[in-house]
Structure 1
Amino acid sequence: MDDAKDLLQFLENSSIIDFTFIRQEYEKMNRQKILDQTKIWKATDGRWKAYVDVAGKRRLIAKSSRVALEDEIIETYKDPKIKFKECFDSWASEKLEYGEIQKSTYDRYQADYKRYIKDTELEYKEVKKIDELFLENFIKSTIASQHLTAKGWGNLRTLINGSMVYAHKHSYTEFRVSLFMAELQLSRKAFEQRVVNDEEQVFTRDEETRIEKYIADNPDMLSLGVALTFCTGLRVGEVAALKWSDYKGDFLSVTRTEIKYIGEHGERIADVRERTKGRDGRRQVVLNDMAIGILEKLKAYMGDSEWMFTRDGQRIKAVWLSLRITKLCKELGMPHRSFHKIRKTYATKLIDAGVPEKVVTKQMGHTEILTTKQFYYFNNEQVAEIKERLNKV
């Protein structure tokens, strides 16, 4: 190998082979090849124009002369000066196009980008100029200025990781973001700490009893949907997407959920996806006697229909169920809690009742009991009940 290098060096030094000439001719060939593949035209305003493909998108270039335009085209392909925003747009669009994410996830990426990155120094930074120091300063300043929680940082990290991996894969940068993230040190104190009170996360036993009594005295479709959730722990989107064919005696087959996304014209769309949020995308929920009673009452109330919850022949959207629990809390003089708090109440009841962990995870649609205990288990006893327990110690 060294002999070959020495020979080439000798040939060049002896002027036997003019490598400079060869290099120039090669660059001319490449230049002409690029220009032949690019449509160039003179516009009505007298300027020369052409489109170039950069980061999966077309970019319009305009110059006063054809020579200047051709030089700009070549320079663009040699050094495209790809910005972070272009990599983010291409990365997110590819994931959606290839079915790696749902439209609702794509919309969340866009919302997170607008919140964390839009109008910042990172947005239009050339990716080849992004280094460890710049990125670390951006991350730490964003966490501090926007008071991010650990979850918020996780959302921001997803955008940075995806965009920079895309940039590296397409040779826009040599920076390896995975190594940077592995070595990035962030103190827990850097994140906003939110105090979570148990009474804000679940309904107390007394509150649940009052809601059950109110629904029994004032039954209608939406209220029965709330009552069913107290007995099954379903997500609100899963309840709204139930069909009567899912009701199988002692079981409820949960195989779909409502998803929301932004349409082409900016409209909000609620659709049904044929899999749930969990890893398996489906589960069989065992029904207790109360749940079966609620379903039978609902069936008698609704009559013949494909969907369990319909109005004027149309499936109701999940938002109507969410609004109903808000209304019930207000009418019964309870603190407002979201529909998801019913699911947390259900998980808490299962664990307190000593239901086997494997059954708990199956009912909830969780992969591990740790998820249930860490994010869904709260104390739902009232102060008087706790005091009574302590008095017995």
Structure 2
Amino acid sequence: MQTEIKKSRLENLFIDGTIDDETVANIEKMLTRKKVEKLHKYKILYNEKRDAWYTANPQDYNKRIQRKTLGELLDALKPYYIESTSTCLQDIFEEWLDYKRTITDSPNTICAHRKHWKRFFDGTDFFQIPLQEIKVSDINSWANQLIKKYNLSSHAWQTIKTIPKQMFEYAKDHGYIATNPFPELRVTVKFRQVSKPTSETQVYNTDEYHKIIEDLWKSYDKKHEPRFLSIVCNFLMGLRAGELCALRWRDLDMKKWEISIVQEMVHMNAAELSNPYYDVYKASGQIVILPSQEGRKGVYVLLDHTKTHTERVIPVVHKAQEIFKLLKTNAPDAKPDDFIFGYGSKYLNLRSINSILEYACKHISTDVKRSHKLRKTYASRLNAAGLPLDQIRACLGHSNTATTLGYIYNPLTPEESLSIMEKAFSS
């Protein structure tokens, strides 16, 4: 009764404008925690060795509930003592997303979550069921119907499943539910089978490779813009498109002929980037918004890390060395922080890479394969030449060779492949 009276007084203070809504929320949380602590009949103890608080489960004395702080422990006990509410997954999505921002370094992850939320989950029946009423059978029914409705592959399901999975974990950790039923999910329908694409669609074969490089050199000789040679270089380095765009002269060691891959360019939703949460990253230089993009819905930014948050050093082969020497000669005043493939006030971006590829493919009358196919072509040519798989993995910046194997295709022409087969059976 006292808690309700205090909350009533709190509401009056809020209405009068004496305190703001954030303070109200914090005080209400404190009052709720005090109420839970009073109702809980078992001792709450601190384990110094584990640096955590724990107590007995109200429904099973032999089980423990443990959390890092006393407040988090009381939040976890809340569902056992406070009457059921109608809070649903739909209600806590934004709250969970704010929390997710604090535990990821990738703004694009947040953008992807919001995109998947709008497409698959927002406003659907399952996400409006009160959390405390959701049964395992509800989760099973929802998940299997979703997979059938959108004909999802296993990979696509694993990607979008992240959202409800982590939301249930968040709901349990923050006291919305006492137990998390999501781990008991069982998928019984069949996923859409995905066959490995053909080499013709994934890599440039030997003829295409030589013709594109020849065409790009012609474009460079005509316009003298480094962007054309960026594609030639990436056939020889196999970088992610964002890594290629972010290359600066300081990354290139022209004595050892090695290049350090330390950051990348990404395309971000401007609205997401305007969230105050990212202010500290922008102020520290961890996120740098590139110039001349005012008023755009999407903007190019530089991150101070690569996709995998690891740096790597790759050798620069002779043909790439010649290109870098030429670019350096043509830009004698270039500073260490200048982009290698910049020209004038412009910088190479993700869209321009694909535009250059489209331009060249049209000239040589071949199907366009997007920028990521340069990376696969690089890996496939190294593999065909006999370079050990683990070295290819290291050059690509993969954490395991299983991922690298997915990049390996046949980069040879049909005639070249047949010639090798003939040699194999010639004796």
Q: How does 1:1-393 map to 2 (within 5 A)?
A: 28-39=1-12, 53=25, 78-96=83-101, 98-177=102-181, 179-181=183-185, 184-186=186-188, 189-194=190-195, 196-219=197-220, 220-249=225-254, 250-264=257-271, 267-279=297-309, 281-305=310-334, 306-373=338-405, 375-392=406-423, 393=425
The question of whether the paired residues in 2 share the 8 Å contact of 1:215 and 1:227 is answered with yes
- SS state at 1:307 partner: coil
Q: CA RMSD in A?
A: 2.5
Q: 1:108-128 deviations in whole A, cap 9, x for unaligned? A: 100011111123212322222
Name 1:70's counterpart in structure 2: none
- SS state at 1:284 partner: strand
The one-letter code sitting in structure 1 at the alignment partner of 2:217 is: A
TM-score (norm 1): 0.78
**1:235–1:158 Cα change, 3 Å:** same
The one-letter code sitting in structure 1 at the alignment partner of 2:133 is: K
TM-score (norm 2): 0.72
- SS state at 2:267 partner: strand
**1:258–1:33 Cα change, 3 Å:** same
**How far apart are the structure 2 equivalents of 1:140 and 1:175?**
22
Q: Which has the larger radius of gyration?
A: 1
**How far apart are the structure 2 equivalents of 1:244 and 1:162?**
41
Q: 1:278-327 deviations in whole A, cap 9, x for unaligned? A: 25x21101111011111122223445341112243243322111211121
The question of whether the paired residues in 1 share the 8 Å contact of 2:258 and 2:316 is answered with yes
**How far apart are the structure 2 equivalents of 1:354 and 1:218?**
32
1:331 Cα shift? 1.6
1:354 Cα shift? 1.8
The question of whether the paired residues in 1 share the 8 Å contact of 2:144 and 2:187 is answered with no
- Higher relative contact order, structure no. (Cα contacts within 8 Å, ≥ 6 residues apart): 2
1:185 Cα shift? 3.7
**1:39–1:353 Cα change, 3 Å:** farther
- SS state at 2:265 partner: strand
**How far apart are the structure 1 equivalents of 2:230 and 2:342?**
11
**How far apart are the structure 1 equivalents of 2:230 and 2:341?**
8
Q: 1:83-123 deviations in whole A, cap 9, x for unaligned? A: 21232221221121x25242111001000111111232123
1:186 Cα shift? 4.2
**1:242–1:190 Cα change, 3 Å:** same
The one-letter code sitting in structure 2 at the alignment partner of 1:90 is: E
1:216 Cα shift? 2.6
The one-letter code sitting in structure 2 at the alignment partner of 1:274 is: D
**How far apart are the structure 2 equivalents of 1:326 and 1:41?**
59
The question of whether the paired residues in 1 share the 8 Å contact of 2:382 and 2:392 is answered with yes
Q: 1:35-83 deviations in whole A, cap 9, x for unaligned? A: 233346779xxxxxx99749x99xxxxxxxxxxxxxxxxxxx8544212
The question of whether the paired residues in 2 share the 8 Å contact of 1:88 and 1:159 is answered with no
**1:371–1:297 Cα change, 3 Å:** same
**How far apart are the structure 2 equivalents of 1:105 and 1:298?**
35
The one-letter code sitting in structure 2 at the alignment partner of 1:299 is: K
When structure 1 is superposed on structure 2, of 231-240 and 79-88 the one drifting more is: 79-88
1:160 Cα shift? 1.0
**1:171–1:42 Cα change, 3 Å:** closer
Alignment: residue pair count: 334
**1:42–1:313 Cα change, 3 Å:** closer
**Which runs of no fewer than 5 residues in structure 1 stay unpaired?**
1-27, 44-49, 58-76
**How far apart are the structure 1 equivalents of 2:390 and 2:217?**
32
